[in-house]
């Protein structure tokens, strides 16, 4: 991480977020921060509250109480529209791509280029090529259906679409799940590139070796609570595992 590129104030901050489902407390006072120019990894066992937190940040779920701050502006809750308009974009495991549509059409979905009521396909194709090139995403032909691409390429298209829409806080849910080594490495390089360009990148992952390879900070959750936020270079995998399992807590 280049400290000169990291924002002084957090792009995103939560304070004392609570969420219950019937009598089950999924989140118990979660407070965390994400800065521009860094990769923040959120880790924890199943049931730790990671997915619930991400759904609240994405506007899918409403917290019972607590505050969400986006560049200093406070919200009691977000809707998907408000989250998107505020720059939060989430790449879920299913990627939400149109498999029968080509790459360019996916990138411009809902924001198509038209003139006189006609689709400007050549303009869209050229803009798509430039965007993918800027992000170092290698897809030779933007006119092929997304369903024909590899898993890593599809992940790249999903990311490029969010960048094209103006997102600056990018959340990845298990970004390399079910990918081979080469594809995983390509996705990890893309994530590091996004952070280097000033985006605030949050990843949810069970893959601790990848977390230690890519992240600048690690937020450890257990049983609905944040039990530690650690600089990756100042901790070890054994320490993080101990925190996840409850054998240890952050000092």
Domain ranges, residue 44: 3-87+168-245
Rounded to an integer, the average pLDDT of 159-172 is 88
pLDDT computed for residue 3 by the predictor? 44
Q: What is the mean pLDDT of the chain?
A: 91
* 232 within a domain of the structure (yes/no): yes
Mean pLDDT value across residues 155-170: 87
Mean pLDDT of 178-192: 85
pLDDT of residue 38: 97
Is residue 212 domain-resident? yes
Q: How confident is the model at residue 178 (pLDDT cuts 50, 70, 90)?
A: confident
7 falls within a domain: yes
The CA-atom distances, in angstroms, between 247 and each of 215, 224, 231 are 23, 16, 19
> Is residue 222 one of the residues assigned to a domain?
yes
* Mean pLDDT on 68-77: 94
Task: pLDDT band for 163, please (50, 70, 90 cuts).
Answer: confident
Q: Which stretch of 15-19, 108-112, 139-143 has the lowest confidence by average pLDDT?
A: 108-112
Which of the four pLDDT bands, split at 50, 70 and 90, describes residue 250?
low
From the list 185, 251, 206, 225, the residue with the least C-alpha distance to 30 is: 225
Residue 1 has pLDDT above 70, yes or no: no
> How distant is the alpha carbon of residue 229 from its chain centre?
18
Amino acid 91: pLDDT: 86
Mean pLDDT of 20-49: 96
Q: Is the pLDDT of residue 235 over 90?
A: yes
Question: CATH no. for residue 203?
Answer: 3.40.50.300
Please report whether residue 79 resides in a domain. yes
Q: Which two tokens stand for residue 7?
A: 């924002």
Q: Is residue 65 part of a domain?
A: yes
Residue 46 forms part of a structural domain: yes
Q: How sure is the predictor about 103, in pLDDT bands with cuts at 50, 70 and 90?
A: very high
pLDDT at 20 over 50: yes
Query: Given strand 217-222, what is the order of strands in its sheet?
Result: 88-91, 169-173, 200-204, 38-43, 217-222, 225-231
Q: Is residue 40 part of a domain?
A: yes
**In the structure, what pLDDT confidence band is assigned to residue 32 with cuts at 50, 70 and 90?**
very high
Q: What is the mean pLDDT of residues 145-157?
A: 90
Q: Are strands 88-91 and 169-173 parallel, antiparallel or unpaired?
A: parallel
More confident of the two residues 160 and 251: 160
Nearest one of 20, 231, 89 to 220, comparing CA atoms: 231
Distance, CA of 169 to chain centre: 7
Record the pTM: 0.87
Please tell me the total count of domains within the chain.
1
- What integer is the mean pLDDT of 191-197? 93
């Amino acid at each position: 991480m280049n400290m000169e590129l990291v924002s002084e104030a957090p792009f995103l901050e939560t304070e004392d977020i609570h969420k219950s489902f019937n009598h089950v407390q999924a989140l118990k006072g979660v407070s965390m921060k994400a800065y521009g120019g860094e990769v923040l990894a959120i880790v924890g066992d199943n049931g730790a509250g990671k997915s619930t937190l991400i759904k609240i940040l994405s506007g899918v779920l409403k917290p019972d109480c607590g505050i969400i701050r986006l560049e200093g502006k406070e919200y009691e809750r977000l809707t998907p529209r408000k989250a998107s308009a505020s720059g939060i974009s989430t790449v879920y495991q299913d990627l939400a791509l149109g498999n029968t549509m080509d790459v360019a059409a996916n990138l411009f979905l809902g924001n198509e280029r038209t003139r006189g009521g006609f689709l400007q396909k050549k303009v869209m194709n050229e803009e798509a090529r430039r965007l993918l090139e800027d992000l170092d995403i290698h897809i030779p032909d933007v006119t092929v259906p997304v369903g024909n691409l590899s898993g890593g390429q599809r992940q790249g298209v999903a990311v490029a679409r969010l960048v094209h829409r103006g997102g600056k806080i990018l959340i990845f849910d298990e970004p390399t799940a079910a990918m081979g080594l080469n594809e995983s490495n390509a996705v990890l390089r893309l994530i590091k590139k996004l952070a280097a360009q000033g985006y605030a990148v949050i990843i949810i992952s069970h893959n601790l070796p990848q977390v230690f390879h890519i992240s600048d900070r690690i937020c450890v959750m257990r049983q609905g609570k944040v039990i530690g936020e650690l600089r990756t270079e100042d901790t070890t995998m054994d320490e993080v595992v101990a925190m996840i399992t409850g054998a240890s807590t952050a000092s």
